Structure formats: structure tokens, C-alpha cells
Structure 1
Amino acid sequence: MDRTKIILLSVVLFPTLALAQSNEGNITNPSFSKAKKIMQKQIYTNAADMKTIYCGADFNADKYITLPAGFSTEVYKKRVKRWEAEHVVPAENFGRAFSEWRDGAAVCIDSKGKAFKGRKCAEKANKEYRLMQSDLYNLYPAIGAVNAARQNYNYVMLPKTASKDYRSFGSCNMLIDKKDHDAQPPERARGVIARTYMYFDAVYPKYKMSNQQRQLMTVWDKQYPVSRWECNRAEKIQKIQGNVNPILASRCKNI
């Protein structure tokens, strides 16, 4: 049997294996609400894993957070009790690649006959967008107030000198530059963030990092190597979502 027939046969008999061997993103779950339930019920289920990405805050099976000692926020105070699903690669950063986000679509008309665009339209009109939005590799629990303050800001290394334009969260070393719309994550999150950006860049043609962002993520990937926790999380997601994370696959071999 020639190689072409073997490949075709493997696709028919072992579709999950065939998918795992290709650099594809999420093609199984187009529902963001379902993705959040999967996070809660199937991924973050062990006490040791139940920590938010930026602040390392503990949470329980009902998503209620125990805030770190000294945590404080002057904004979004109503969003600190339960974790929210944070898009490490912000939805807007890849959403603007879709015409529905930028310009709207014929189906994006509300009950009053008014046209709308943006995230709401992209989610309604484009399945490819919904799949990207629901990709579990890109979703992490975060304290709601931190998630809200980060918005769609790029990750950077901020100047070491303190600035009145920086928003901080007490003992959680997450800094938000309100003036220039940048965010500096704590060290605990930088490697995970880097490899998430690299994954999105590898599997979604609609998304490409800027040269500046790529340079930073390459540095963070090397400075903060992959952990066993990160690899275990990827294994769970691969079983649920069906696609391999090619960035973590190579890094987790020796973990």
C-alpha cells in the first residue's frame, strides 16, 4: 500500500490522531459559554491547579475566589468574587481580522432594526471566529477585576520606575499602564502567556504576532520554561478539544 493510501486510511480510521498530527486550532467547540463550563468542570478540578493565571489566587469548584493577601483594586470591585475566563490572546486582537467585526454583516441586525458590528456580530455571523474565541488553550481563570482592567492591552515589560499611570492590585504583581494601554504580567504567568501566543500564531492563519510581540514572547518562553502543570493542562485540553498544541508538544517531551 502506498503512502497516500496509508494517510487516507489513517484519517478515516483514526480521525483524532490525524487531527493531532496537524497544526490546527480548535475545530470541535464553537461555544464560548460551553468552553467556560469545560474549564470549570473538566480542566480546573484539582485543588493544586485551581489558581488564577496572574495573581495565583485560589478558587473552589463553584468559581469563588480567595483573594491573595493584600489584594486591592479601585475599579471593577463587583468582579472580584468569581473567576472569569481570560483570553490571553485578546478576542479583539484576532477578532479584527474578521470583516464581521470591522464592518458588520447582513445577519447582524438587532430587534429594533439597527445594525451592529464588533465582537457580537463576529460571534453571531462567523463560525471560524467562534472557534477561535472558544479555544481552551487560550482561556485561563483570572480575577474578574484584573481581567477587566487588562482589556485587550498588549503584554510588555514596563519601565522599572513607578508611574502614576500604572494600575496595580496590591500583592498581585500585575501592572496595567492606563496611559499607553499596556500590561505587564507577574513572572508566574509570563512563560504560559508566551507559549499561548506562540500557539495561536502557529495554528490560526487569521492571527499573527507583531515583530515586537514575537521578540518578547520568545524571550519569556526561554526565561520561564514549561512546567509539568502546563503540560498536564495541555493533555486535558487535547483529549477534550481534539487538537494538539504544537508549541507545548515539543517542550513537554522531557517533562
Structure 2
Amino acid sequence: MRIQFDAAFNSSYLCQPIYSRGGELLAVELICRFVNTDSKLVMPTELVLNLLSSQQRYTFLQEQIAWATQQAAWFESNKVSLNITIEDKLANLVIEYPELKEALKALPFVNVNVSESFPEFSLGRKNKRLTEINQSFSLWLEGFGSGNGNMAPIFDGMFSWVKLDKNFFWRLYAGENFAVILPSLLRNVHRFCRNVVIDGLDTAEYLSAVYDTDIQGVKGLLWPGVEPALLDSLLARPPEFH
């Protein structure tokens, strides 16, 4: 997808892996980047989406659905999920245009990422848009602990997976009571959502700190994203788990 502002930007993608505690590939997050065609400057995706027209956002979402459809055999045969982020304005499109919703629903391996910054997130099931998305898709909560919402949607059982915000994890790890607080937090989340991923595992030290905790997935710069053409490389068990 090509976007023209003061300069031209092309959309490109990275596939960010999420592994089980044992090193099996659980899911791939489709990460979009908007790159300047001349300088290779990368523009923040959130900023770009806010600048796009409704039609451009529609095309952007169509582009991701088309890629997922092309890769369906790979995800299904390898039993790997694909996570696509649906923020506020994209959620409106999925609700407003049945063809988008049906195209996504036709891909059972696709999960929808929603962050705590989703408007009126803390209303939980009283949030009509969030509830409508939840009725159609398996939801992952992105950035739990970022401080932008409360736990009401988790208490309401709206999420299949909860992913701890990396900055939140780093603050916990730096605190004196990390070994007490993290297990307590996980127990509370597990009462309403069995699957928890910890983001921000950028070093072997971080991985070691959570390895024996009751988590179901890990993500971080220890396992950087790859170009879509290199999806197969993510299937190999990373050396950190050997």
C-alpha cells in the first residue's frame, strides 16, 4: 500500500514470533511499517492510521486480510496463530462493513489484538464495540499493565490471551518484590484468562527470570521479527530453549 503525505510511504510487514515456554511457535504478530520510499524513514503506524481516510484504512485492512489468506495453508498446517491488531478506527470498519468481518472470520487461525487504549476499554462488556468484536473473534489483550485501562474486560472473560506490557514487565523486574508480585499477578489473571504472554524478553536474564513461572508464551527482542518470506525460519526451536 502506497501513502502520499509530504513524501511517499509504502507499507511493509514484519512477522514477530511468540513462543511457548518450551520454544514452540505459538503465534505470529503481523507488524506493519510505513517506510519512506526515498530516505527509508519509518513512520509510526499509529500516526499513519490517524492520518488515513476511511477508504485508505479499508484498503490497509484489506491488504492484511489478503496476505493472511495467501498464507492460510502455512498457518493451518503448522498450527500457528496469526495476530492482527485492530485499533479504534479499524474496529469501526470491521463492524460497519460485513464483507471485512466475514473475510476475517473465514480465517480461523486469525486472532485480533486489542490494546488498553481502545476507547472506553474499562467498560468491559458494557463497551458495545468491543463486545461486538469479541463475539466474532478470538481476542488478545495487547499491553496489559500499560496503565490505560482497568481489569474489567479481563474479569468479563473477553480475552483468550493476555500479553503483559513490556514496560510494565521491566518495572516489575526492577522492583524488590518481583519474585512475589509476578506470580500473584499471574494467579489473578488466570482466574479469568488461562493464557498469558510476557513481552519485553530482550535478554537471556529476563527469560531466565520468568522461565519457571506459570506463563504460556514469551515475546521479545531475543526473537526479532522477520520478513514474511522468512516465515519458515520461525518454526525452528530457538537456541535459548535448548
Normalised by the length of structure 1, the TM-score is 0.27
The structure with the larger Rg is 1
Structure holding more strand per residue: 2
Q: Which has the higher contact order (CA 8 A, sep 6+)?
A: 1
Normalised by the length of structure 2, the TM-score is 0.28
